[in-house]
Structure 1
């Protein structure tokens, strides 16, 4: 699943008291002394908790010195877990960058071509002669998003505990009308990455989970990164708990999904549901990755510095198309180019029940930034969305070494 512009989507708030785990210096007492980047981001993270976020993690590596690490959580979440800057999170659609990296590695090995018709590998796709691997990667295939179907949403939110195979997920997407003719537009669809996962397994005869471990995680020393849907029950005490608004709060938020029966199952908390127990398997190669901010920063740094792909394939990855849903972003091959007032960064966003994240690096891979919030639909609250956006924008500016614009 994908994370958002200012509105979290699946296409993938209460106490003012907070707990700080790892912080840099406190905010200067003198009013005329400019706050340090650490104190500024700490203040913005606390404001996001005050706006209703259950928990927030910020990690900024400016490319020199120690990374800045901040962890804040609402007091009502403390009995469930202790949030730290090293906690694991469900990173949702960020896994698409890994899947795209694996595909491009096979392209470099001449085992696959970006312009191969999808029908070469997946005959079940009716229009598969007109859709290419490249179109799956940059979401220009026209395939509808299976996760927006009622059956998928029921499983995603825990209302239905059925287990779906990748083939069944692909079929669920193919049963929906095509969004447009292949190659004509861009529309983000998780179905594309289910198809890519299946292609990876057909070409290599290995599972996507194994490929992530063998080709990315182990070579880079990512000890806390894995595909949860295939790796068994490895989610343990390090996994941060995620929360979504309970039925009453969802009704107050007047979300269109509520009219379609959206609600979450799990232990009830203060106006929330603890959704850490939900099975992410239905998102598979489109969103079931677990990682930490440190691990993900190392991955993005290795990718953009050329350690995972030859120059030709990395250049292809950075060829972008316009994203009509977000004026600040363009989409490449499993990689987003995001621009804010301080500059342009590369990475991806992720959203899955209980977790939303944004992970970016500069064009060289020398600097990285991660912001994770332990809710997804909670960010549909306008006040919380504004606080989240301010924190993300400021963290990007700090990463790039630019002054944070006054707002």
Structure 2
């Protein structure tokens, strides 16, 4: 996969704005403007990761004490840089941040900022954060466990598990859903648009729309009623709704809720003691609370956000330590077989992310020709990233709250201020 992924990762795609349902209200201008990608989309996070990996690789090459020994230690006092980077992110506008890097020779974790927009309690290393699309790795793990059990194959048709789920598209398979090659749109905007109000500047209506309790069936109804960017198997189109459908398939064949499956077959085996799979609004304890910034309006707290807006594509909360435990367990073959891991990390289509089945790849700045594997997640008020080396020996994860939804993706702070030193530390 190496050459194909390397080529794909050099391309920065345009993120298409999904067409709203006919008759639906407009989204707030910052989210729905054709001039900019939707702020929910993680593409700018992935672009930042690629840029950070490239910059880190350049620094690694310049700092090697022995150019003939790739993979050797970087002669650098990295801890002060990491601590200072967290402070920079908060000083530039983030509310709270926690981050960690684990290697055979380094164990670093720290936090900066505060837990809540209105509070003074400090962010902690063990503060949970809503990790959004990092949930997809957990769902993909469950799906691959069912493949290994013989329940289905990757080429099993959705129609054969839940007849009529995607009306008129019986050819969609489990592989299509895992790899975002079903052709369906994102689904999240199609879901919330009818409830977002008629005024595109009505942020109160928008917050109300993302605070509603949605059913999985409503997610599927929304994409079935919307235009699809593509046809099954013809190309890559990132879709939250596809992972909502995978959760429905898992519940159909196991008779258990996805929450129970994640707890028993992912969280507990991986030792993710602080992670949860909520379906109601609100975060408790030392969690980092989401908030969004809107030019002309200021900060808006999102404590009423309902994770059913994402459901099985992004409902999970986790700590950075738990995210490390998860990616380590996954890559080490503790949750699925190594054969399944290989299928998950293998490029599944001609896409710019190195996306496989629930994971994607970025070039490993420490090991030329190799990759770091994982995912990221973006809600309207938080960001998260979780990456691991293929052998499971090195991990990094971060979670940050406070997002600018009007000026530009994460315009309040430069994510690479922390990503570059974390990637360097992962060497």
TM-score (structure 2 length as normaliser): 0.75
* Cα pair distance change 1:7/1:334, threshold 3 Å: closer
| 1:213 paired residue number | 263
Shift of 1:79: 2.0
> Partner residue of 1:225?
275
Q: 2:139 aligns with which of 92, 99, 114?
A: 99
Q: CA deviation at 1:174?
A: 1.4
In 2: Cα distance, 1:396 partner to 1:378 partner: 27
- Give, in whole Å, the separation in 2 of the partners of 1:151 and 1:383: 22
5+ residue gaps in structure 1?
10-33, 250-270, 402-407
Contact 2:129 2:317 in 1 (8 A): yes
Comparing 374-383 with 120-129, which one deviates more in the overlay? Answer: 374-383
Aligned counterparts of 2:207 and 2:139: Cα–Cα separation in 1 = 26
| 1:245 counterpart = 2:296 | no
Residue 175 (str. 1) matches residue 175 (str. 2): no
1:42 Cα offset (Å): 1.7
Is contact 1:54–1:77 with CA below 8 Å preserved after alignment? yes
Is it true that 1:4 corresponds to 2:43 in the alignment?
A: yes
Shift in Å, 1:298: 0.4
* Structure 2 CA distance for partners of 1:357 and 1:177, relative to 1, 3 Å: same
Q: TM-score under structure 1 normalisation?
A: 0.78
Q: Distance in 2 between matches of 1:218 and 1:365?
A: 18
How far the C-alpha of 1:275 sits from its partner, in A, is: 1.4
Q: How many residues align?
A: 349
Contact 2:404–2:410, Cα closer than 8 Å, also in 1: no
3-state SS of the aligned residue for 1:347? strand
Query: Secondary structure of the residue that 2:363 maps to in structure 1?
Result: strand
Cα distance change of structure 1 residues 71 and 372 upon mapping to structure 2, 3 Å threshold: same
Task: Give the Cα–Cα distance (whole angstroms) in 1 for the partners of residues 88 and 272 of structure 2.
Answer: 31
**CA-to-aligned-CA distance 1:307-346 (integer Å, 9 cap, x gap):** 011122112111214575xx5x310100111226445210
Equivalent residues of 1:276, 1:354 under 8 A apart:
no
Aligned to 1:158: 207
What is residue 20 of structure 1 aligned with on the other side? none
The unaligned stretches of length 5 or more in structure 2 are 1-39, 49-74, 197-204
Distance, in Å, in 2 between the alignment partners of 1:134 and 1:383 is 32
Q: 2:100 aligns with which of 54, 59, 83?
A: 59
**Equivalent-residue separation in structure 1 for 2:282 and 2:271 (angstroms):** 17
Alignment correspondent of 1:350: 377
Match of 1:49 among 76, 82, 90: 90
Distance 1:70 1:190 in 2: 31
Change (3 A) 1:56 1:114: same
Give the 5 Å matches for 1:331-346.
Answer: 331-339=355-363, 341-342=365-366, 344-346=371-373
Residue 290 (1) aligns with residue 317 (2): yes
- Matching of residue 70 in structure 1 with residue 97 in structure 2: no
Question: CA 1:379/1:104 → structure 2, altered by over 3 Å: closer, same or farther?
Answer: farther
